[in-house]
Structure 1
């Protein structure tokens, strides 16, 4: 049987614990802080996150598990960290970044998503604008071909004159003109002012 001096054993044990607790504890603390922050940003309770973990195959994952992790009473296992990060739609690596930097990166990521979505909406709006101009031109031709201008009804003549003038005015604006007008009206300046 191997015997070890108690003093030596204690020193070895303490060094071992310090190394174990020191090497990954900052990462784990940042992961837990990120987990809590992201969970709360989504409006999820601890129970909701636990329920989602259980639904994704983590049997035995309960609200108390999340609570103990957030209090630092229970470590997060690597597989659990991956599962939690997946549910929170954030890479594990981002959850290990100090919270201030993580917030900055999340804000940038959110801004990029919003920019892409705005670009898609802008593309849809441009398509709608061009389709509307085509439809106005079609309706104007159709009314003109039907001889509305020759109508003897004075009310129809007035409406035709007004609508024809407005349609021709609208059709005279290019896409660029419309964007410039929109920017001027909503931002007090044109594209160059942007």
Structure 2
């Protein structure tokens, strides 16, 4: 008998109700989500996000926990734990509290592991979705005990460019150095 039990992702996904609210390019999920196939848009998941090995996601992903085995072209923010499988291909920045990175995964971007990850946007999006559900301004798509994700309609909107965190930090440093200039204390450049 083992002292430690390991919960399987399938058990978590199969037992909870998931409500999906689409707001433009954003898909806000109240509960767990399993993504398969090709998807576009930004995903905000309240619980655990699982990206299947055959998935190709174009957009940013923000979730409480993530298990990624497929391709994600965009930034990933995980409030808690991130697991990158051996078949994962990431094209963007990653920010998480903790991560398990399997041998063989490919990361084309930066990885930032911090004890506290700021996920205010996730809280805002979840509150916005809950407000929409309460006010019945949208008809949510509800899946009960279904690990399969439904096909999202294709949109002809241009894909927003994402900037990895390092590039953004470099821009800020350049702006700061341009605004801070050393000026002599007197007009004749005498340091005495």
Coarse TM-score class (shorter-chain normalised): under 0.3
Q: So what's the TM-score if we normalise by structure 1?
A: 0.25
Larger Rg: 1
Tell me: higher relative CO, structure 1 or 2? Use CA pairs within 8 A at least 6 residues apart: 2
Q: So what's the TM-score if we normalise by structure 2?
A: 0.25
